[in-house]
Chain A
Amino acid sequence: MLASLEAMALVLVAGAWRGSLAAADGKSQKAPETVEVSIIDDVFTLQWNGSQESVGNVTYSADYATSEMDNWIKLPGCQHITGSKCDFFPLINFYEEIKFRVRAEEENSTSSWYYVDPFIPFQKARLGPPEVRLEAEDKAVIIYLFRPGKRDGTSIWDMDALSFEFSLVFWENSSHGEEQEIKTNFYISKMYDLSTETTYCLKAKARLSWKVSAYSPVYCINTTAEHKLLPPENVTFGARNQSYVLTWEYRDVNVTFRAQWLHAFSKLTPWDNSNEWKQIPNCENVRTTYCVFPQSVFQKKEYYFRVQASDGNDTSFWSKEKAVQTEMYSTILPPVVSMKSTNDSLHVFVKAPKKQFDTFTYEIILWENASHTERKLVSKRSDIIIPGLKPLTPYCIKARVLLQDKWNKTSVFSAVVCEKTKPGAAASIPWVIPVIVILLLAVIAFCVMKLLWKCFNYVFFPVFKPPCSIEHFSEQPFGNLLLSTSEEQTEKCFIIENTQSVIIVEEPEETDEDYRKYSSQSSQDSGNYSNEDESLGNQISEALLQLKPQALSCPGELVLGLSSLGLHSS
């Protein structure tokens, strides 16, 4: 019995040892496996698989760190989780890298960390479906769209508010209801021309660049019974003098109207713009089916207008919204034209009196004062050169502004300006190039001709004739042979040295470099002189060929060379 007791004690102690060993180790837990982060809108979900070997009360904790901080932060909502996933809503910069780590814990022991690869939340996040709110009128349904994500200003999609695109599917909830598919960037849309007291349904999905959400749930609504007071119809917009005119149609007479306007860009932004419609001055409680207001009130580009009727007790629904681009209606003032004549072209300057719009084109009508044949020019530049005109002729010009964007709006023509072209036969711009080409060809031809002339002269009309030189030799005083460096006579001379090369002493007058090269090359050819007369003659003629024609004009010096030749050869 004592032995068994001892044995039990031993086992207990051993067990305790092992237990304490395990506690001291701290890493007996296995780290979680396959940790994944998924993001849908603003909700981050961390999911993992616990390791197979863990049993019992294993909990998990997660930390996160962003690139802007150095240390790991405990992830709120993800500490000591017993399940295998947790949701959290971090308030971080969604466009910077973030990293996570997860570990398993049990009582006093923890596993090693499992590190998730860092990623950028904005890139990883997926779009949830948009939210829809419907509002019914008698023959229309207003669709209010809300982009996915939180709307308290801390959403991941906040900065992309303008870039959302919605795809709507709208249908009548009956057997023959055909689906209408609409794509829109607007956060508020309206479906018109519907039947009264009918059920209509809608589902929507959102798109942000390449991210597409799933369809939202289906929302349905019933249109109301027909409203007694009908809304105004056929709202039209026009311009008259310096004012805009909004007109509409209405059957009853005992009603007043009011008209409102909205900036076009308001429809693209998700903030509450139901009260962004503003009252048009002069258009409140009017009895006429039109109202006039100055153009200065609406100087931006794009607006929406709507009109409502009221009979004192009751108001109608709003009319269909009229989209207006004021550019289309506002009057364009004519430009101011001025001209300057240069030779046989005219330099025209067109100036718009006030910089109303940026996309101008000008239409210029040109005609000769005498005749009435008109020439039309279209230009985007404000100074134009018109070439190819007759000199000393009076020309007249008038111009107008063209808006070639979407509507062919024009201004009235400017005042007519006339100017006489100057005399002159100078070539106008398109003629310059052929003239330059001709000049170049002329230069080339001249050089070629000169070369041919030289060759011709060398070959057929050598100035040097052997008998003449001998005569000249007898005339020359002997002293010249010794004074070979006298200035007057050494202008174009040569010395034959070693009977094998011909070297030019003085710089020739012309900068004909090729000549120098030619002579030094051919000096190789002159080779060995022989005693024979024939060969001497050849040598002489060869030497002569290397001379310029002008060189032959100093026969005295030539004689010098010849004599040296003769001396050497003998």
Chain B
Amino acid sequence: MASRCILQIALLLSFTTSLSLSYDLLQLQQQQRSSNSACLKLLRQVKGKPEHCQQDRMDFKFPEEIKQPRPFQKEMAALVIQEMLQNIFVIIRKEFSTTVWNKTIVDDLLDKLHQQMDRLKSTILQERPEDTNMTTLRLKSYYWRISRYLTARENSICAWTVVQAELISKFPIINSLTDYFQD
């Protein structure tokens, strides 16, 4: 009984010390999450007409290995998040049309995405070796398909409504990836 008690104390001590050491990562995680919810709020403000756009839906084939929970190293999780944010930024910047978007909202969204990418670059991704692996390649492929879809449909409201739903549906994945910041 005595040994059990000591074991419990030892576990508690190690847990609290590891908590205090990784506090910066906890803050980064919180920042990421608040940035995500802000981006989501903005994304939802696309002037879409979802009722009329049912036939335009499409499967863009998001990479399966990111959807399913699997242990990620924190650098890998940050790389995946960075890739996703970059591509979302590029798509919105490249393909947005003023008929569908309010320019102020677009600028707001782009600014938030840019800030978060900067934060990742100056923390976890500082010493990034910068080589593309299969996961980031598949992510790029996914976002390329979305971009082509928008171009082919001339950035119409329906196309943007579909893309808006698609982009929004992937934000919970970004949130769950931030769990891996704690290692």
Contact = CB atoms under 8 A, between A and B. Distances in A.
B51 to A, nearest CB: 30
Give the most central of B110, B114, B148: most A CB within 10 Å: B114
A423 B89 CA distance: 58
Contacts of B27: 358-359, 380
Contacts of B23: 380
Interface string A382-397: 0000000000000000
Given A159-B87, A159-B147, A163-B86, A300 B111 contact: yes
A301 interface: yes
Interface stretch (A263-271, A334-342, A454-462): A263-271
Interface residues of B, number: 36
A158 B147 contact: yes
Interface in A433-453: 433, 436, 440, 443-444
Interface stretch (A90-98, A190-198, A363-371): A90-98
Contacts of B141: 93, 95-96
B147 A263 contact: no
A93 B5 CA distance: 60
A444 B94 CA distance: 73
B131 A210 contact: yes
B114 A265 contact: yes
A161 B90 contact: yes
Contacts, number: 79
B59 interface: no
A359 B118 CA distance: 14
Given A359-B27, A444-B2, A123 B132 contact: yes
B132 A162 contact: no
Given A96-B141, A210-B130, A301-B111, A358 B31 contact: yes
Contact of B93 (A271, A359, A380): A271
Contacts of A56: none
Contact of B131 (A160, A209, A359, A436): A209
Interface string B98-120: 00000000011011001101000
Nearest to A265: B114
Interface of A: 93-96, 120, 122-123, 153, 158-163, 209-210, 263-265, 268-269, 271, 300-302, 358-359, 380, 433, 436, 440, 443-444
Interface of B: 2, 5-6, 9, 13, 23, 27, 30-31, 34, 86-87, 89-90, 93-94, 107-108, 110-111, 114-115, 117, 130-132, 137-138, 140-141, 143-145, 147-148, 151
